[in-house]
Structure 1
Amino acid sequence: MRRLLVGLVAASALTIAAPAMAATKPVTITKNGFTPSSVTIDIGDTVTWRNSDAARHQVVAENGAFASPILRLGQSYSFTFQAAGTYRYRDSYNSGARGTVTVNGAPPSVSIAASQPIVLYGGQVRIAGQVSTKRAGETVRLLARPYPQSSFAEVAQIVTTADGQFDYLATPKILSAYQVSWRGASSIAVTVEVKPKVVISYARATGVFTTRVTGGSSYAGKSVYLQRLSSLGQWVNIKKVTLNLYGSKRFFAPTLPKGLSRVRIFMTVNQAGAGYLSSMSGTWSLTRR
């Protein structure tokens, strides 16, 4: 009997000493936002967002730490947090939907953030952060991993200013991840996604539209759509346009309904190509009498 008790005590000791398993916290996406809108986890834990709404949604971190693909009904996205801090995020399809993930644990030795998670081709994004010593004169290495590369490469060395802060203006040409290294410590990676630059112009005298798409690859032979904003507030395709060798095209618009019409050019993610998001031009307002 005594031997059995000793065995039970030993087993209990083993159970107590065993490390805690990483946890997964679920967040539901609804038409009204995120439920719950705030979660607290530990380093190494995972948050899974699941779309329970018929509409499309996309989870995007304000500092670029993560960005889900477009989630349709029933689809989910998971992200494992490897650094402590407060991560604020939003729904790119619902401006009013916002949430927060608080990760407990020791703060990282060097931090990083991107000023925006998505830029137009040719646009700049500010990469900023701080070293834990909070001293000026420290040298930080900025690393980048543009799609489809599998490893990071140094793109700049930055000297910290007051309070150990640093910043750098990057111009990503394609989906890119950024990371900083300092005294052997590495930050988390932040991702910046890129949209092709789509422009549209209209000559009222001739009734001719001109569109051009610019990106890191050729768009010759790719298709875009002329869209009109319907009375229901939805963008509707009214004409398919195939781009020429220079990624541009001049064309006549189909007959628009009488009254005011708002039109734009839209390029799907499939036509934009790997490493790019879907994109659209600004809008033109036309009146047909």
Structure 2
Amino acid sequence: MQTVSEIGERRLIAMFTEAATSTADDVVIGSGDDAAVFTATGPVVVSTDTAVSGRHFRFDWSSPEQIGARTVVQSAADIAAMGGRLTGVTVSLGCPPETPVDRLLEVNAGIVAQTHSYGARVLGGDLVSSPAMVITVTSMGVLDDVAPVTLAGARAGDVLAVSGPLGGAAGGLALLSAIDHGADPSLLDRHPSVVAGFRLPQPDPRQGPKAARVGATAMTDVSDGLVEELVTMSASSGVRLDVSSAAVPRATDLDEVGRDLGVDPVRWALAGGEDHVLLAAFSDAMPDGWTRIGTVSDGAGAYVDGEPVGSLRGWQSFSTT
């Protein structure tokens, strides 16, 4: 099995470029040159996300294709949260020299397949040596005749809603972690949908532009946990946000996983994160597929079932746990 150091950077980049080659009306120059060139049909939206091996993903928990695809999902969700439509991504990939080439090609295949599934294209990137695998995806999108939806627009009288179920990624992570610590491995077979929710979340990025078109006043994706996004939106908009935990839709089979692990699944739905569905405030009607979970009022802070979120918090990037 060849390694990255044996095959060399230029040959590997050529293999990446070949896998990413496809045509699109708005791509003038794609992957393979010094830089990509594309035509924008409106204001451009840009976001960058980084995933680090051992911190954000593990190859014994997910396939290389799932890991690559997941990095696109999390970056593309930020484009959707602004009301944008994804048009392209660039990828910076760092890895140790002894990394098997097949593993990198499989990661790249996941990146390309997920990007294409969104109707977008891989436009190029970078490849460097690093102590651990690091994948950085920069997503680019356009606003199709809609104004960008920010975190700061929620107003008293609005309602809060989410574009899909929550807690699947956190429940899947808890399940895999429990098996690491001696739980019955057959739990993976009993709860495949929850495990899949961690390995490769499946939010619908089309809900971002849909929400923008009907007049969403504020929006964000649920990457760090619902409570974290509520705290951020409350501070940005200068309002009080109230959510009913019973109204928050939960991922399929999440309650069963909670019973098996002795964990309240509501906690995963509120604080788990990485589902990448959208949280938005609406002053009027919301699109089909959204679920109302709360209200916006004068005041400050984020509340669940009438109580401040307090110590119930989501993902913290520089936490040591």
Same fold (TM over 0.5): no
TM-score, normalised via structure 2 length: 0.27
In terms of fraction of residues, the more strand-rich structure is 1
Higher relative contact order (CA 8 A, sep 6+): 2
In terms of fraction of residues, the more helix-rich structure is 2
